[in-house]
C-alpha cells in the first residue's frame, strides 16, 4: 500500500470493504460456534450462573443441537451463488446477517415452549440464513481485490473466521458466568449483528463503480488490475454471464479444492466442538478453566493468521514461491502438522494435561494457514464465477459439520474415557492427511478456461480448444492472474 498515487489513498475503500467483511464474518462465526459453550453452561448451571434454568440433555441430544445449525446451512449453499449474482453480494450479506441475529435473539424466550428441539429449530433457521454468508463474502472480495492484493485483503477478511471462533469460545464463556447468564450470549450476538448491519449499509458497496466514497485513482487501480473497463464492470454485466455448469463440475482443480475444504471442515468442526467437552470430561475442568483452555488455541490461531499473512506477502513479493507453491506449501503445513499432533494426542495418558493443551494449541494454530493455502483458491480459479463455485464447495463442506457431532457422540459415548477420544483424534488426523494429498496432486491456481465470459459461446462454435501450452488464455483476467502467479 502506498500513501498516494496510482493506488489511491493509504487506507482506501478496498481496505474498508475487507475490514467490514472481517467483522461481519467474525460476528456470524461467533453465533455459529458459541453453541458448544452455551451447551456446557445450559447443562451445568452450577458452574456458571445458577439463576438460570438447567437442562438435562443427553450426549446424543447435544450432538443434534451442535449439528442442527448445519442442517439449515447446507440447504442454502447451492442457491447462495445464484442469489448473490441476482441481488448482489452486499444485499445478500446484509439480509443474512440481520436475519440470523434476530432469530438468535428469540432462543431464551422460546425454550420454555419445548426442550432441545426448540434449540435445534432456532439453530436450523440461523443456518439457513448464514448459508449465504461466505458465498456473498467471496463474491464481494472478487469484485474489490486487486490481483496483487488478493492474498492480503482476502486473508484479512477471512481472519474474521478465527476471530469469530475465538469470540464464540471465550466471550461466550465470560458472558455465561456473568449476571446475564447463558441467555446473554444471544443478546450480545444480536446487538453486535445489528450494529454491523448498520455500518455495512452505510459503508459497504457491491463494486468499485457503485461506491460513492472511492477515489477515481483507487477505482482505476482496482479495475485495471482486474483487466476490466469501468463501463464493463457493472452489476448487469456480471449477472448476464452464463454459468458453465458442466465445465465447473468436471474440473479437476475444483474437485481437489472441494476435497481439501471438506477435509478442513470435518476436522476443524470436530476439534472445535470437542475441545470444551474433552476438557470437561477427561480433565474435569470447571467452566472458567474450561473456557480459558478451550479458547487459548483459538487466541493463538487468530494471531497466527496474521503471521501467515505477512509471511505470504514476503514470499510472493520476493518471488521465493509462486502463488501455486505458496498455496500448496501453506496447505501442507496447515493439514499435516495438525494431523501429526492429532495422532500424538491420541497417545497421551489422562494425567498429561499440560502436554494435551500444548498439542491442541499447535493443532489449531498451525491450521491458521489453511485459508491462504486453499480457502482463497476459489477466487484464483474463477473470479467471474466465485460465488457459484464457492456455493458448490461450501455445500459439500457443510455436510461435514452435520456429521461430525453425530459421529463424535457415537465414538465418545463417555466423555471421560480418553481411549474413545483417541479414536476420534486418529480419524481426524487421517482425514487431514488424505485431503492434502489430493489437493497437492490436482489443485491449481491457474484461472480456468471456463472463467471466460465467452467460454460457452466459443465452445458452441467449436473453436475454443486451449492447449496445455497456452492455458489459461480465456480472458484478460486469466492472463493477468497467471502472470502474477508465475
127 and 247 part of one domain: no
Task: Please compute the mean of the pLDDT values over residues 142-161 and round it to a whole number.
Answer: 85
Say yes or no to pLDDT of 47 above 70.
no
Residues 319 and 425 both lie in one domain = yes
Name the burial class of residue 189, with classes exposed (0-12), middle (13-18) and buried (19+) by CB atoms within 10 angstroms of its CB.
buried
| Cell numbers linked to 54 | 438447567
Q: Are residues 434 and 357 in the same domain?
A: yes
Q: What is the average pLDDT value for the chain, to the nearest integer?
A: 81
Question: In the prediction, which pLDDT does 248 show?
Answer: 92
Q: DSSP code of 375? A: I
> For 341-346, what is the mean pLDDT?
86
Identify whether 418 is part of a domain. Answer: yes
Q: Indicate the residue among 189, 224, 259 that finishes a domain.
A: 224
Higher pLDDT, 464 or 82: 82
Domain co-membership, 312 together with 214: no
Is the pTM here over 0.85, yes or no? no
Q: Are residues 58 and 199 in the same domain?
A: yes
Domain presence at residue 83? yes
Residue 63 in any domain: the answer is yes
Query: Taking 90 as the threshold, does the pLDDT of residue 27 lie above it?
Result: yes
Whether residue 233 is contained in a domain is answered as: no
> Cell triple for residue 351?
494425567
Domain of 171 in residue numbering reads as 14-224
Residues 343 and 424 in one domain: yes
486 within some domain:
no
Q: Which of 85-94, 142-151, 356-365, 460-469 has the lowest mean pLDDT?
A: 460-469
The total number of structural domains that make up the chain: 2
In a domain, residue 395? The reply is yes
pLDDT for the residue 231: 37
pLDDT higher than 80, residue 112: no
Which pLDDT does position 347 carry in this prediction? 79
One domain for residues 386 and 336: yes
Q: Does the structure show a pLDDT above 70 at 146?
A: yes
Residue 424 lies in a domain: yes
Are residues 271 and 394 located together in one domain of the fold?
yes
List, as one string, the DSSP characters of 77-99: HHHHHHHHHHH-HHHHHHHHHHH
- Find the CATH number of the domain harbouring 189: 1.20.1250.20
CA-CA distance, 44 to 60, in Å (whole number)?
A: 16
> CA dist 314 to 60, 180, 308, Å?
47, 45, 10
Structure-model confidence comparison of residues 206 and 16, the more confident one: 16
pLDDT in the model for residue 327: 94
Amino acid at each position: 500500500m502506498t500513501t498516494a498515487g496510482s493506488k489511491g489513498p493509504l487506507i482506501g475503500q478496498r481496505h474498508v470493504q475487507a475490514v467490514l467483511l472481517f467483522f461481519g464474518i467474525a460476528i456470524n462465526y461467533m453465533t455459529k460456534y458459541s453453541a458448544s459453550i452455551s451447551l456446557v453452561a445450559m447443562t451445568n448451571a452450577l458452574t456458571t450462573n445458577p439463576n438460570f434454568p438447567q437442562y438435562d440433555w443427553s450426549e446424543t441430544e447435544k450432538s443434534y443441537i451442535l449439528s442442527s445449525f448445519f442442517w439449515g446451512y447446507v440447504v442454502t449453499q447451492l442457491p447462495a451463488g445464484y442469489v448473490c449474482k441476482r441481488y448482489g453480494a452486499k444485499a445478500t450479506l446484509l439480509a443474512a446477517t440481520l436475519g440470523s441475529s434476530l432469530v438468535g435473539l428469540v432462543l431464551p424466550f422460546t425454550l420454555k415452549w419445548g426442550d432441545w428441539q426448540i434449540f435445534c429449530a432456532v439453530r436450523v433457521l440461523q443456518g439457513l440464513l448464514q448459508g449465504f454468508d461466505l458465498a456473498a463474502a467471496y463474491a464481494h472480495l472478487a469484485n474489490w481485490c486487486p490481483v496483487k492484493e488478493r492474498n492480503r485483503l482476502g486473508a484479512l477478511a477471512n481472519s474474521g473466521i478465527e476471530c469469530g471462533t475465538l469470540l464464540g469460545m471465550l466471550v461466550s464463556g465470560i458472558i455465561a458466568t456473568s449476571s446475564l447468564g447463558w441467555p446473554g450470549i444471544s443478546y450480545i450476538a444480536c446487538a453486535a449483528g445489528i450494529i454491523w448491519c448498520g455500518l455495512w449499509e452505510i459503508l459497504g458497496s457491491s463494486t468499485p463503480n457503485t461506491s460513492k466514497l472511492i477515489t477515481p485513482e483507487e477505482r482505476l487501480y482496482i479495475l485495471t488490475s482486474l483487466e476490466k473497463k469501468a463501463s464493463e464492470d457493472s452489476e448487469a454485466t456480471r449477472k448476464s454471464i452464463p454459468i458453465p455448469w458442466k465445465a465447473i463440475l468436471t474440473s479437476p482443480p475444483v474437485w481437489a479444492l472441494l476435497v481439501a475444504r471438506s477435509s478442513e471442515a470435518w476436522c476443524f468442526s470436530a476439534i472445535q466442538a470437542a475441545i470444551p467437552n474433552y476438557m470437561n470430561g477427561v480433565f474435569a475442568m470447571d467452566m472458567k478453566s474450561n473456557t480459558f483452555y478451550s479458547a487459548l488455541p483459538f487466541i493463538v490461531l487468530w494471531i497466527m493468521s496474521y503471521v501467515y499473512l505477512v509471511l505470504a506477502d514476503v514470499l510472493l513479493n520476493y518471488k521465493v514461491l509462486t502463488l501455486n507453491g505458496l498455496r500448496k506449501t501453506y496447505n501442507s503445513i496447515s493439514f499435516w502438522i495438525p494431523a501429526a499432533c492429532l495422532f500424538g494426542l491420541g497417545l497421551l495418558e489422562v494425567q498429561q494435561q499440560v502436554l494435551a493443551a500444548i498439542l491442541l494449541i499447535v493443532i489449531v494454530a498451525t491450521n491458521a494457514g489453511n485459508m491462504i493455502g486453499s480457502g482463497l483458491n476459489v477466487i484464483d480459479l474463477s473470479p467471474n464465477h466465485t460465488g457459484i463455485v464457492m456455493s458448490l464447495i461450501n455445500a459439500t463442506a457443510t455436510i461435514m459439520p452435520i456429521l461430525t457431532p453425530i459421529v463424535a457422540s457415537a465414538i465418545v459415548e463417555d466423555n471421560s474415557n480418553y481411549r474413545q477420544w483417541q479414536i476420534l483424534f486418529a480419524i481426524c488426523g487421517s482425514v487431514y492427511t488424505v485431503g492434502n494429498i489430493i489437493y497437492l496432486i490436482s489443485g491449481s491456481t491457474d484461472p480456468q478456461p471456463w472463467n471466460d465470459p465467452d467460454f460457452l459461446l466459443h465452445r458452441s462454435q467449436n473453436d475454443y480448444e486451449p492447449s496445455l501450452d497456452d492455458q489459461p488464455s480465456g480472458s484478460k483476467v486469466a492472463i493477468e492472474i497467471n502472470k502474477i502467479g508465475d
